[in-house]
Structure 1
Amino acid sequence: MRVGEIAAGSLLLASAGLLDPNFADTVVLLLDVNDEGALGVVLNRPSALPVSEVLGEWGDVVDEPEVLFQGGPVATDGALAVALAAPGGEGGAGFRPVWGRLGLLDLDTPREPGRGHGRPAADLRRVRRLGCRAAWRRRSPRGAWYVVPGEVEDVFGDEAPDLRRQVLRRQPGDLALHATRPMDPETN
């Protein structure tokens, strides 16, 4: 995947010019892209709400931080779980691959064998980024987002507050320079 190519596994990085408080300074992992638009999860806005308070049995398998992440202003009443299948594994029941070994986990799937139908979701290596979805129509303000390739550690790393700058730093060419740009250019 190249910079600018929009596909599942791409990251949308808010440009400094995107001032909408719902998306300013955000990093969004795209999970589905089609002719109608895109669906993703925000990777760098942890809330204070513990996963265990909302999703019970899934709370003890979620990577740190074990909190729900804030999404966009769309569908704030549902949660998406991004999971990583074990190497060579298929992710188990309730797992839908999206990009490589990364996929979505159906949170209604029983974790324990014998509780429900099919295999348990035991083929999973990690679960994280449970949060509300963010969706866009195909038309977005020009220059509002940078589209870059994602990496698994963007989803499971520990650097949520500084994720946008870290992802920008590893980009080729002039795009990497945006990592040092202040959010408010007048403070420069």
Structure 2
Amino acid sequence: MEDFFADRLFRALELGDVHPGTLLLAAPGMDLDFRTRSVVMVVEQTAEHTLGVALNMRGDIAVANVMEHLVPLVAKPQAFYVGGEENRDSIVALGVLKAGLTPAALAEVPFVRYLDHRIVVIDLRTPIEQLQDIVESVRLFAGFIEWQGNDLAEELGQGYWYATPALASDIIAPGAVDLWAEVLRRQPMPLPLFATFPADLEDN
């Protein structure tokens, strides 16, 4: 089963370029605890490491209980999401630029870094007034996923992940949306066929 999904499917597909703003979609049947069925956005990449946050793992802590001033910008459900296993005390904020704005609009806004397709990383030192001028929605993530050195490249080569461009709507998907399946459905064939792959094979 594992060889089928990793070798026959994902290795048969051309590996996508991975850079900040790329989505990493967990391969069907991948059993790596936290990362199973996860949709991870790469937010930082250097020669030493790659950092990403899982977009589809809602937590149970309300934003209003910790960062009430950001509530007007936070997309529903207004809870912190679990970004990864590492450093759960660190908050990664991703935002979606208002329609019509370009990366050039960030020139006068401190601590906001453009990724791709209207998606930005927000340093929470940015004044809320400036954020309200440029960002239509924000999602907050506790923790992140980290790969050291070439670890991510090795996992991609083994078929653990499929790399694909992100959409701004991925960042702020409603809580009821199965984001993993939604991203699969918009990929080239044969990936959409796996959108109904169950989290537990015993459910099939």
TM-score (norm 1): 0.84
Contact 1:32/1:98 (<8 A) preserved: no
The answer to whether structure 1 residue 133 and structure 2 residue 139 are counterparts is no
Taking only the aligned residue pairs, the percentage that are identical comes to: 31
- 1:35-184 aligned within 5 A: 35-86=47-98, 87-88=100-101, 90-91=105-106, 92-112=109-129, 120-121=130-131, 122-137=133-148, 138-139=150-151, 140-141=154-155, 142-158=158-174, 161-184=177-200
Structure 2 equivalent of residue 9 of structure 1: 21
Q: 1:77 to 1:154 in 2, by over 3 A?
A: same
Q: What is the alpha-carbon root mean square deviation over aligned residues? A: 2.2
Tell me by how many angstroms 1:159 deviates: 5.1
Contact 2:94/2:122 (<8 A) preserved: yes
Which amino acid in the other structure matches residue 144 of structure 1?
Y
How many angstroms apart in 1 are the aligned matches of 2:78 and 2:202? Answer: 36
How many angstroms apart in 2 are the aligned matches of 1:15 and 1:165? Answer: 11
Which amino acid in the other structure matches residue 165 of structure 1?
A
What whole-Å deviation, never above 9, does each CA across 1:126-176 have from its counterpart, x for those lacking one? Answer: 212433222223324312112122111111222565100111111102122
The answer to whether structure 1 residue 29 and structure 2 residue 29 are counterparts is no
Tell me by how many angstroms 1:80 deviates: 0.7
Contact 2:84/2:145 (<8 A) preserved: yes
How many angstroms apart in 1 are the aligned matches of 2:176 and 2:34? Answer: 16
TM-score (norm 2): 0.78
Which amino acid in the other structure matches residue 144 of structure 2?
R
Contact 1:17/1:144 (<8 A) preserved: no
Which structure 1 segments of 5+ residues have no match?
A: 113-119
Which amino acid in the other structure matches residue 59 of structure 1?
V
> Going by fraction, where is helix more abundant, 1 or 2?
2
What whole-Å deviation, never above 9, does each CA across 1:103-135 have from its counterpart, x for those lacking one? Answer: 1111122214xxxxxxx3232222124332222
Which structure 2 segments of 5+ residues have no match?
A: 1-13
How many angstroms apart in 1 are the aligned matches of 2:125 and 2:114? Answer: 17
Contact 1:3/1:148 (<8 A) preserved: no
Tell me by how many angstroms 1:4 deviates: 2.1
Which amino acid in the other structure matches residue 145 of structure 2?
A
The answer to whether structure 1 residue 18 and structure 2 residue 34 are counterparts is no
How many angstroms apart in 2 are the aligned matches of 1:8 and 1:39? Answer: 9
Contact 1:83/1:128 (<8 A) preserved: yes
User: How many equivalent pairs are there?
Assistant: 180
